[in-house]
């Protein structure tokens, strides 16, 4: 199986006709993703990349049955785009946009809390189920089909981990890039929980970084559920100076438990296999699976 997206997912692109939306939508279509249309206000009724363009998400859902949306809308308008997708009936919203103001995301999280939708991101690479659907900006060729669930705060390390896993003759059920902003839709714990409940996922790779407590929350959940699937983890930012934001807005050490070393210790205490370098991820996964 897979989580979040598969070959039957009906995907629309918000910000469809912009440069980013156009480029990545074409990449998604070329990969085989079932892109059924896009949304650009004021351009409804036209066609782009051979797909229909709609003025609103609601109209797109009514006309195409779309259940998934990917957002390539500029930061100032991205929060409204997320809200529109939730209101329009989209079940999985993947927000790629970087730089959405934190105040806007606070309002978004409050708005979507009672909606039947799941938000991935923002500031993330998206989601890919290899061989079925790519709803994001990741290089599809890196990902091979298999039985490893992958959740990561970092886009680049998502690709690196997938490559390491493939070199061991293994592959991915679904890879979820949750994003590195202070406020994100789906947490590490929630992504891990999806993989724990997916019968085809035999092991999980969890890539975290300094800042926040998402990894600790996931570790607690993993231990409470009996460590029923092996989890391999890597924490980025081991040499980061205290108090300095490192690339991701959420990657800032605020206290003693926010450091990479503290997170690695917490994960180990909860029965998670922690590696010191991303170069060790694939080998460790193969080892814990007895491959």
Structure tokens belonging to residue 13: 């692109």
Q: Please state at what angle helix 102-112 crosses helix 75-87, rounded to 10 degrees.
A: 0
* Torsion angle in degrees (nearest 10) through CA of 263, 260, 183, 186: -50
In sequence order, the 6+-apart residues with CB closer than 8 A to the CB of 253 are 210, 211, 237, 240, 242, 243, 244, 259
- Rounded to whole angstroms, how far apart are CA atoms 205 and 207? 7
CA distances, 89 to each of 3, 36, 57, 147 (Å): 19, 15, 8, 30
- Rounded to whole angstroms, how far apart are CA atoms 69 and 138? 16
- Rounded to whole angstroms, how far apart are CA atoms 159 and 105? 26
Length of the chain in terms of residues written: 291
Q: Is 48 an active-site residue?
A: no
- Rounded to whole angstroms, how far apart are CA atoms 169 and 158? 17
Give me the catalytic one of 24, 48, 248, 270: 248
Q: Taking Cα atoms as reference points, which of 247, 185, 162 lies closest to residue 211?
A: 247
Structure tokens belonging to residue 71: 């957002």
Q: Region of 231 please: left (phi>0), alpha (psi -120 to 50) or beta.
A: beta
Catalytic positions: 248
């Amino acid at each position: 199986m897979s989580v979040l997206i598969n070959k039957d997912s009906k995907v629309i692109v918000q910000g469809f006709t912009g440069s980013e939306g156009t480029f990545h939508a074409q990449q998604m279509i070329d990969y085989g993703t079932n892109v059924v249309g896009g949304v650009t206000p004021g351009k409804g009724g036209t066609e782009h990349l051979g797909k229909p363009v709609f003025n609103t998400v609601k109209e797109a859902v009514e006309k195409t049955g779309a259940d998934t949306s990917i957002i390539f809308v500029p930061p100032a308008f991205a929060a409204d785009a997320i809200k529109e997708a939730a209101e329009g009936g989209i079940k999985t919203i993947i927000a790629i946009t970087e730089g959405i103001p934190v105040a806007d995301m606070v309002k978004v999280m409050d708005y979507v809390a009672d909606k039947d939708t799941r938000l991935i991101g923002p500031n993330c690479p998206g989601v890919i189920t290899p061989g079925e659907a790519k709803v994001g900006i990741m290089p599809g060729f890196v990902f091979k089909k298999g039985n490893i669930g992958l959740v990561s705060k970092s886009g680049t390390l998502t690709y690196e981990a997938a490559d390491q896993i493939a070199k061991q003759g293994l592959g991915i059920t679904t890879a979820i890039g949750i994003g590195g902003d202070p406020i994100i839709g789906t947490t590490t714990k929630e992504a891990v929980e999806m993989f724990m409940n997916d019968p085809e996922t035999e092991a999980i790779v969890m890539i975290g970084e300094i800042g926040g407590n998402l990894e600790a929350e996931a570790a607690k959940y993993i231990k409470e559920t009996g460590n029923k699937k092996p989890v391999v983890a890597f924490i980025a930012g081991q040499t980061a100076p205290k108090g300095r934001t490192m690339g991701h807005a959420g990657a800032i050490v605020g206290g003693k438990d926010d450091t990479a070393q503290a997170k690695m210790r917490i994960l180990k205490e909860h029965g998670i296999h922690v590696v010191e370098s991303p170069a060790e991820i694939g080998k460790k996964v193969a080892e814990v699976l007895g491959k």
